[in-house]
């Protein structure tokens, strides 16, 4: 109880006026390049203070080996390093700076062929800066490189998810077809693709499913409709939603924050610990409930049929409702938080029963024939589609995968088996000991294991108490994770 009270002492300092708790949602190192290169291609400049803070962030995140990886805790790859080198050049660093020369040396050591954006052959202006960068990152003159010969030529450090041989063959076939593409067919293909881009923009309030596609969609809209168009202006207006000023500089985040995800757990904890009932905390809980009330997605996306989207009416989102994607666990946690807060004596029951039913109905539509739930939609295809996964840096992305729910006893056994000697669990996404421990403990408590009757839970609680910081919060850093290893 003392720890919980301490924890809330920390949170109460940082609750935003509208009731949510804001937090950095960073980590990936391939987001800033999309923004910086995309803006450059479209001839738009970032503000000087944004440039300075992004430079600071990227230099802070550069690894001592000489480059950048896919995320802040990963060793450098040629992809991450080249993309961030180009970003820094566009942001204004001179190629003569020692840090840039060192990075270049690292790149040349890797002898890279670069992947490239394809499609409608839209090109940004060939400026002196672009020509300079070309001569800096390639070891042979740019015009002498036949890029189509290099589609399957990836440096081993970059290939997290190796190509399937079918993809290699397909790449060669498509490279050949490119020389004799049938114009009417190409036109039809481009039209169909552009329509999907427009649907996605309009369904998500110009945020799209994530920051990588956001910048690609924005460049598409610029190429097709120009800088004066309504669509392009809408896109431009949403850029700041993806930026977060951290103590290490300005970063681009994975979505417009993780608002719902954070508020849902904080609210549940406040109710479970009894802190929510204490007079002094009631305003804070009322604000949180108000935020949750406004955050529920009330309708399906406008183009939900046309854009092959799963329905979203009734869901709680991962960040804010405007983006409109259903995520099964966010919907579940959002509903749990509302139920918890609305069970308090003093809260208004603003989220009426019908709205809770909408959420339950939605969750039921997300269960797959095998009993499991995935994240954004039902499993819609065969896992053989992974053979066509071109991403190289991500595996298991072509279809949805379900997470176990039927084999409850086996799952609990698994949770026990993977507990670490210090009482914690290791999360598979990033470095997440306290985070994974939270979910593991929730599972164990659902199976009836508590501090009173389970040695494993006791050990985990001791782990959490031991790692609470002086200000009352819990954190997680890469250095902290090394202490665990």
CB nearer to ligand NAG: give 50 or 402: 50
CB of 441 to ligand NAG, least distance (A): 13
What the block records as the tokens of 400 is 């949805």
Indicate the residue among 282 and 481 with the shorter CB distance to ligand NAG. Answer: 282
Min separation Cβ 310 and ligand NAG, Å? 20
Cβ-proximal residues to 264 (8 Å cutoff; 6+ apart), any chain: 292, 316, 330, 333, 334, 336, 337
Please say whether the beta carbons of 323 and 241 come within 8 A.
no
Q: Select the residue whose beta carbon is closest to ligand NAG and give its number.
A: 12
- Please, are residues 103 and 62 in contact by the beta-carbon 8 Å criterion? yes
Q: Are 73 and 44 in contact (CB under 8 A)?
A: no
Which residues are CB-contacts of 20 (< 8 A; sequence separation ≥ 6)?
259, 262, 263, 288, 291
Shorter beta-carbon distance to ligand NAG: residue 85 or 261: 261
Q: One of 329, 396, 422, 471 is an active-site residue; which one? A: 329
If phi > 0 it is left, if psi is from -120 to 50 it is alpha, else beta; for residue 392 that is left
The residue among 76 and 205 lying less far from ligand NAG, judged by its C-beta, is 205
Nearer to ligand NAG, 376 or 387 (CB): 376
Beta carbon nearer to ligand NAG, 154 or 251: 251
Task: Assign 314 to helix, strand or coil.
Answer: coil
3-state SS class at 242: helix
50 and 43 Cβ atoms separated by less than 8 Å: no
Shortest reach from residue 275's CB to ligand NAG, in Å = 6
Specify whether the backbone of 66 is left (phi greater than 0), alpha (psi in -120 to 50) or beta.
Answer: left
- The residue (of 207 and 208) whose beta carbon lies closer to ligand NAG is 207
Placement of tokens 């009352």 in the chain: 472
Q: Compute the least distance from the CB of residue 21 to ligand NAG, in Å.
A: 10
Q: Which residues have C-beta within 8 Å of that of residue 195, sequence separation ≥ 6?
A: 306
Catalytic annotation on 329?
A: yes
293 touches 302 (CB < 8 A)? no
Query: Tokens in use for 36?
Result: 């910086």
How far apart are alpha carbons 135 and 219 in whole angstroms? 25
Question: Which residues contribute to the site for ligand NAG (CB under 6 A)?
Answer: 5, 8, 12, 20, 205, 207, 238, 241, 256-257, 259, 275, 278, 280-281, 284, 320, 322, 450, 452
User: Measured between alpha carbons, how far is 237 from 189 in angstroms, rounded to an integer?
Assistant: 29
CB of 48 to ligand NAG, least distance (A): 24
Measured over the CA atoms of residue 403, residue 404, residue 410 and residue 415, the dihedral's sign is positive
Q: What are phi and psi of 434, to 5 degrees?
A: -65, -35
Which of left, alpha, beta for 99 (phi over 0: left; psi -120 to 50: alpha)? alpha
State the nearest-atom distance from the C-beta of 250 to ligand NAG, in Å: 16
User: Residue 283 CB, nearest distance to ligand NAG (Å)?
Assistant: 7
Angle of helix 282-295 relative to helix 328-342, nearest 10 degrees, comes to: 140
C-alpha–C-alpha distance, residues 281 and 366, integer Å: 36
Q: How many CB atoms lie within 10 A of CB 53?
A: 20
Q: Give the nearest distance from C-beta 321 to ligand NAG in angstroms.
A: 8
- Beta carbon nearer to ligand NAG, 61 or 238: 238
Determine how many CB atoms are found less than 10 A away from the CB of residue 191: 9
Report, as residue numbers or ranges, the catalytic residues: 329
């Amino acid at each position: 109880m003392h720890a919980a009270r301490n924890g809330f002492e920390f949170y109460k300092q940082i609750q935003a006026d509208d009731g949510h708790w804001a937090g950095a949602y960073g980590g990936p190192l391939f987001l800033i390049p999309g923004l910086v290169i995309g803006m450059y291609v479209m001839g738009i400049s970032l503000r000087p203070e944004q440039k300075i803070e992004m430079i600071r962030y990227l230099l802070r995140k550069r690894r001592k080996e000489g480059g950048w990886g896919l995320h802040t805790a990963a060793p450098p790859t040629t992809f991450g390093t080249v993309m961030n080198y180009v970003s820094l050049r566009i942001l204004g660093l001179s190629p003569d700076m020692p840090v840039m020369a060192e990075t270049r040396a690292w790149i040349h050591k890797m002898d890279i062929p670069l992947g490239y954006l394809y499609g409608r052959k839209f090109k940004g202006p060939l400026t002196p800066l672009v020509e300079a960068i070309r001569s800096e990152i390639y070891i042979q003159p740019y015009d002498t490189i036949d890029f189509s010969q290099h589609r399957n030529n990836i440096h081993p450090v970059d290939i997290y998810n190796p190509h399937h041989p079918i993809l290699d063959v397909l790449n060669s076939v498509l490279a050949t077809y490119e020389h004799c593409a049938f114009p009417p067919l190409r036109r039809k293909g481009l039209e169909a693709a552009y329509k999907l881009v427009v649907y996605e923009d309009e369904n998500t309030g110009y945020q799209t499913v994530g920051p990588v596609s956001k910048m690609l969609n924005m460049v598409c809209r610029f190429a097709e409709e120009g800088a004066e168009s309504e669509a392009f202006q809408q896109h431009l207006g949403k850029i700041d939603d993806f930026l977060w000023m951290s103590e290490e500089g300005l970063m681009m985040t994975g979505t417009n924050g993780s608002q719902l995800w954070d508020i849902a757990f904080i609210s549940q904890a406040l109710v479970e610990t009894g802190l929510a009932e204490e007079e002094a905390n009631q305003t804070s809980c009322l604000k949180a409930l108000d935020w949750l009330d406004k955050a529920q997605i009330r309708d399906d996306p406008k183009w939900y049929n046309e854009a092959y989207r799963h329905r979203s009416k009734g869901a709680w989102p991962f960040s804010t409702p405007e983006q409109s994607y259903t995520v099964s666990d966010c919907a579940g946690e959002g509903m749990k938080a509302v139920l918890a807060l609305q069970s308090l004596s003093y809260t208004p029951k603003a989220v009426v029963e019908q709205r809770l039913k909408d959420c339950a109905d939605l969750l039921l539509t997300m269960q797959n024939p095998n009993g499991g739930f995935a994240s954004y939609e039902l499993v819609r295809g065969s896992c053989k589609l992974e053979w066509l996964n071109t991403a190289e840096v991500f595996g298991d992305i072509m279809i949805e995968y379900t997470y176990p729910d039927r084999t409850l006893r086996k799952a609990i056994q698994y949770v026990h088996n993977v507990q670490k000697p210090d009482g914690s669990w290791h999360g598979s996404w990033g470095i997440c000991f306290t985070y994974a421990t939270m979910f593991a403990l929730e599972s164990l408590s659902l199976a009836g294991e508590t501090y009173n009757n389970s040695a494993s839970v006791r050990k985990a609680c001791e782990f959490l108490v031991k790692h609470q910081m002086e200000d009352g919060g819990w954190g997680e850093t890469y250095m902290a994770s090394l202490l665990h290893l």
